[in-house]
Amino acid sequence: MKYTLPAEWHKQQALLLTFPDEHTIWVDTLADIEPLYVQFARAVLAYQDVIMVCRNLQKQQYIEQLMGTEHAHQLRFLHAEFNDLWIRDYGPISLVQDGKIKWLDFGFNAWGGKYAGDLDDKVTRQLYDAKLLNIDEYARQDFILEGGAIETDGLGTVLVTPCVLTKTRNADLSLEDIRASLNVERVIMIEHGLLLGDDTDGHIDTLVRFCDPHTLAYSSCEDPKDPHYDSLKAMEAQLQTLTDLAGQAYKLIPLPIPAAKLDMDGRRLPASYANFLIINNAVLVPTYEDDNDARILEQLTAAFPNHQIIPIPSLALIQYNGALHCASMQIPATL
């Protein structure tokens, strides 16, 4: 039996987070982002352990003071240097097999060299060496692949977008290379759907997500005047043609994107409800002080009947182009 790529709803032993600090791009927004991270981590700790990456013991003690001591599960720390908080993209990709876990440590070059990523690229190895988690094998991979660029049903299907094949990431990467490295049956390219302001070149986790092996939730647009309308309608049309490995059409759940959210310079931000995070018995959903927030929470409540739906206000996080899923990485449990 070979290692396989589990779905996000596979039981988890911990969630990885990286706490923003004054040495990152968040230096001028710490008053907004720190309370969000405390709320985020506390919400997760009600259900499972959290491993928090921070720079040193002094920063750990500061975070512990912010967090307090009343949480159901364990908060642990890794001291490491890092460039930014988007650990979904530089953290480990976990495969599972017969109660064992293997970490794939893909290269990370900050979305094709757009920013500094040299410190982030070393974090997974440091996590493995620290022995904070129950990991059986570690393998460094010889090409670039970000965690937010792949979405799986846990049964052998992976969804990606054209971002995985950009020349700034890998000169000669193919979908077959991705399929083989992840030990999956098929990789499906979603051809449309880039959100304005998305500096990842269109990660799948802002566009299309599995809720279960037969259900896809996806970013949609209902306003013909919105610049996303044509692209997201084309993506929707492609999703309507897809089938699962048994040949059955997927159930589709549209998640209308929020009205335009702008940064301080008037740039539109890639706010997406598809960037929700599945943890043990709960789904954390980014909200944006938008008219669609309540509607989305109702839709995801129906899509995840066995999970608690927890809204996390995410306007502070989206200021630098990501939300809850981008900022975290789950580690599966050994079953």
Residue 5 lies inside a defined structural domain of this protein: no
Residue 2 lies inside a defined structural domain of this protein: no
Residue 4 lies inside a defined structural domain of this protein: no
> Which pLDDT score is estimated for 1?
63
Q: What is the DSSP letter of 268?
A: B
Residue 287 lies inside a defined structural domain of this protein: yes
Q: Among 163, 211, 221, 326, which one carries the catalytic annotation?
A: 326
> Which residue in this structure is represented by tokens 């200021």?
319
Q: According to DSSP H, which parts of the chain are helical? A: 30-45, 57-67, 87-90, 110-113, 123-130, 175-182, 229-239, 293-303, 315-318
Crossing angle, helix 30-45 and helix 57-67, to 10 degrees?
70
Active site residue 326: yes
Helices and strands, number each (H, E), in the chain: 9, 16
The percent of the chain in helix, strand and coil, each rounded to the nearest 5, is 30, 25, 45
- Per DSSP, the three-state class of 65 is helix
Residue 7 lies inside a defined structural domain of this protein: no
Residue numbers of the domain that contains 306: 12-332
> Which pLDDT score is estimated for 264?
87
Residue 118 sits in a domain of what CATH number?
3.75.10.10
Residue 130 lies inside a defined structural domain of this protein: yes
Dihedral sign computed on CA atoms, order 84, 90, 92, 95: positive
Instruction: Give the H/E segment covering residue 127.
Output: helix 123-130
> Which pLDDT score is estimated for 183?
96
- Per DSSP, the three-state class of 198 is coil
> Which pLDDT score is estimated for 335?
67
Query: Which residues is 296 bridged to in the sheet?
Result: none
Residue 65 lies inside a defined structural domain of this protein: yes
Q: What is the pLDDT of residues 170-193, one digit of tens each?
A: 989 999 999 999 999 999 999 999
Give me the amino acid identity at 224: P
Assess contact for 50 and 67: CB atoms under 8 A: no
- Per DSSP, the three-state class of 302 is helix
pLDDT per 10-residue tile (average), the chain, 335 residues: 93 98 97 98 98 98 95 96 98 95 98 98 98 95 97 98 96 95 98 96 98 98 96 98 97 98 95 98 98 97 98 98 98 88
Residue 28 lies inside a defined structural domain of this protein: yes
- Per DSSP, the three-state class of 307 is coil
Task: Report the domain count for the chain.
Answer: 1
Q: Which two tokens stand for residue 332?
A: 């599966």
> Which pLDDT score is estimated for 2?
87
> Which pLDDT score is estimated for 243?
98
Query: Which residues is 105 bridged to in the sheet?
Result: 140
pTM of the model: 0.98
